[in-house]
């Protein structure tokens, strides 16, 4: 059974259709990339899946359950998390505190009464937070104020925060954007490692990273699915090439090489 499925998923902003009739399906432990030219509707798609914004039409199923009308915080409790690109980060709190708050939010749904009644749950919160930092190799900066982190560490903290909610599926929107090549390679390795244990959906413009990292790729173009396939299939797809080349000059081609 797919872990996540959408049927005829549509998102309108006024009369504009940012996502149109998207049929999408991801298997457990798959590492799926979602790519497409600027403005294709990728971020909108992730936001609708995460429940940050509501769908205008169609259906979203998570583990076979219809979550289309389930609010975002509840989806987090069910195991669906999106890294929120520093918007979710408390700059004045330490790196550890940021993860701890996320761990608390993730655990609260299931265990709120026990959490209040039993302090053992708080030890679990600390363990989950520490584990998330460990996995993103941020343990060394655990006591640093989040606002003082380098750009690369902030981006990784963003993933750690999502991970601290203990998701079954993790949505990453441009996790290496703005990183140096070195930071981006390091993050690539960390994402690969995460993907062995959880399902990962990733939006990224770095084609070298995507082609090497993902099991399969979905290409969005003007709000619709243009193509789906293995990295090799997508690289060879003429329509995909045209969508990119006909789009914005700053978008990298699919030919590979920086
Ligand atoms: N809240 C909104 N209100 C109106 N239009 C929006 C809103 N959010 C997104 N859009 C529009 O929907 C389209 C898709 O935007 P989206 O951010 O999903 O694209 P994207 O594929 O993530 O692009 P990028 O690669 O640049 O991040 C764009 O034309 C954008 O202007
Ligand atoms: Mg986007």
Q: DSSP for 120-150?
A: HHHHHHHHHHHHHHHHTT-GGGTTSBGGGS-
Whether residue 114 has pLDDT greater than 80 = no
Whether residue 111 has pLDDT greater than 60 = no
Within 6 A (CB) of ligand 1 lie 13, 16, 18, 36, 38-44
**Whole-number pLDDT of residue 73:** 87
**Whole-number pLDDT of residue 89:** 84
**Whole-number pLDDT of residue 113:** 55
240 CA distance to ligand 2 middle (Å): 18
Indicate the SS3 state at residue 68.
coil
Which range is least confidently modeled, 30-34, 109-113, 188-192?
A: 109-113
The answer to whether residues 75 and 95 belong to one domain is no
The answer to whether residues 131 and 216 belong to one domain is no
Shortest-distance Cα residue to atom 12 of ligand 1: 18
d(CA 67, CA 51): 9
The answer to whether residues 182 and 207 belong to one domain is yes
The answer to whether residues 74 and 185 belong to one domain is yes
Domain boundary among 117, 139, 164: 164
Shortest-distance Cα residue to atom 26 of ligand 1: 38
Q: Provide CB contacts within 8 A for 179, sequence distance 6+.
A: 151, 152, 155, 187
**Whole-number pLDDT of residue 112:** 54
Domain boundary among 143, 164, 185: 164
Please compute the mean of the pLDDT values over residues 57-79 and round it to a whole number.
95
**Whole-number pLDDT of residue 92:** 93
Whether residue 207 has pLDDT greater than 50 = yes
Domain boundary among 116, 141, 164: 164
Ligand 1 atom nearest to CA at 37: 25
Q: Give the number of domains in the chain.
A: 2
39 CA distance to ligand 2 middle (Å): 7
DSSP at 253? P
The answer to whether residues 15 and 64 belong to one domain is yes
pTM across the whole model: 0.91
**Whole-number pLDDT of residue 156:** 95
Total length of the chain: 258
Ligand 1 atom nearest to CA at 205: 25
Whether residue 56 has pLDDT greater than 50 = yes
Q: Which domain holds residue 56?
A: 1-79+167-258
| Residue 16, in any domain of the structure | yes
The answer to whether residues 103 and 155 belong to one domain is yes
The answer to whether residues 172 and 240 belong to one domain is yes
Give CA separation, 114 vs 48, 104, 118, 164, 200, in Å: 31, 12, 5, 19, 30
The answer to whether residues 21 and 68 belong to one domain is yes
| Residue 86, in any domain of the structure | no
| Residue 6, in any domain of the structure | yes
Q: Provide CB contacts within 8 A for 169, sequence distance 6+.
A: 3, 4, 26, 62, 79, 80, 81, 198, 199, 200, 201
Shortest-distance Cα residue to atom 5 of ligand 1: 13
| Residue 85, in any domain of the structure | no
d(CA 145, CA 222): 40
| Residue 153, in any domain of the structure | yes
| Residue 187, in any domain of the structure | yes
The answer to whether residues 51 and 127 belong to one domain is no
Q: Which residue has the higher pLDDT, 140 or 243?
A: 140
Please compute the mean of the pLDDT values over residues 119-125 and round it to a whole number.
75
**Whole-number pLDDT of residue 258:** 39
CB atoms within 10 A of CB 187: 21
The answer to whether residues 36 and 63 belong to one domain is yes
pLDDT digits (tens, 9 = 90+) for 220-244: 999 999 999 999 999 999 999 998 8
| Residue 10, in any domain of the structure | yes
For residue 22, give the CATH number of its domain: 3.40.50.300
CB atoms within 10 A of CB 220: 26
| Residue 100, in any domain of the structure | yes
Whether residue 251 has pLDDT greater than 50 = no
The answer to whether residues 179 and 122 belong to one domain is no
The answer to whether residues 74 and 173 belong to one domain is yes
User: Helical H runs in the chain?
Assistant: 42-50, 72-78, 95-117, 120-135, 151-163, 181-194, 207-213, 231-236, 238-245
- Residue 106: pLDDT band with limits 50, 70, 90: confident
**Whole-number pLDDT of residue 84:** 74
Whether residue 257 has pLDDT greater than 50 = no
- Residue 124: pLDDT band with limits 50, 70, 90: confident
Max CA-CA distance within the chain?
60
Q: Provide CB contacts within 8 A for 43, sequence distance 6+.
A: 173, 203
Q: Which residue has the higher pLDDT, 121 or 131?
A: 131
Whether residue 3 has pLDDT greater than 90 = yes
pLDDT digits (tens, 9 = 90+) for 143-158: 999 999 999 999 999 9
Ligand nearest to the CA of 18: 1
44 CA distance to ligand 1 middle (Å): 6
């Amino acid at each position: 059974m797919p872990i996540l499925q959408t049927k005829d998923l549509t998102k309108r902003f006024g009369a504009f259709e940012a996502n149109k009739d998207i049929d999408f399906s991801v298997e457990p432990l798959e590492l799926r990339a979602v790519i497409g030219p600027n403005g294709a509707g990728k971020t909108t798609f992730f936001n609708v899946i995460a429940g940050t914004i509501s769908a205008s039409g169609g259906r979203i199923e998570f583990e076979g359950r219809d979550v289309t009308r389930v609010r975002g915080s509840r989806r987090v409790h069910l195991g669906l998390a999106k890294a929120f690109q520093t918007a979710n980060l408390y700059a004045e709190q330490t790196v550890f505190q940021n993860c701890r708050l996320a761990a608390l939010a993730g655990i609260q749904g299931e265990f709120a009464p026990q959490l209040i009644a039993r302090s053992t749950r708080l030890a679990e919160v600390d363990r989950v937070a520490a584990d998330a930092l460990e996995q993103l190799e941020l343990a060394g900066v655990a006591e640093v104020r989040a606002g003082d982190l380098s750009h690369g560490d902030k981006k990784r903290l963003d993933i750690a925060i999502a991970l601290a909610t203990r998701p079954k599926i993790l949505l990453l929107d441009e996790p290496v954007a703005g990183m140096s090549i070195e930071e981006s390679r390091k993050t690539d390795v960390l994402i690969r490692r995460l993907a062995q244990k959880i399902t990962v959906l990733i939006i990224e413009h770095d084609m070298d990273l995507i082609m090497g990292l993902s099991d399969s790729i979905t290409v969005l173009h003007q709000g619709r699915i243009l193509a789906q396939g293995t990295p090799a299939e997508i690289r060879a797809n003429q329509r995909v090439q045209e969508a990119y080349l006909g789009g914005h000059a700053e978008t990298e081609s699919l030919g590979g090489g920086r």
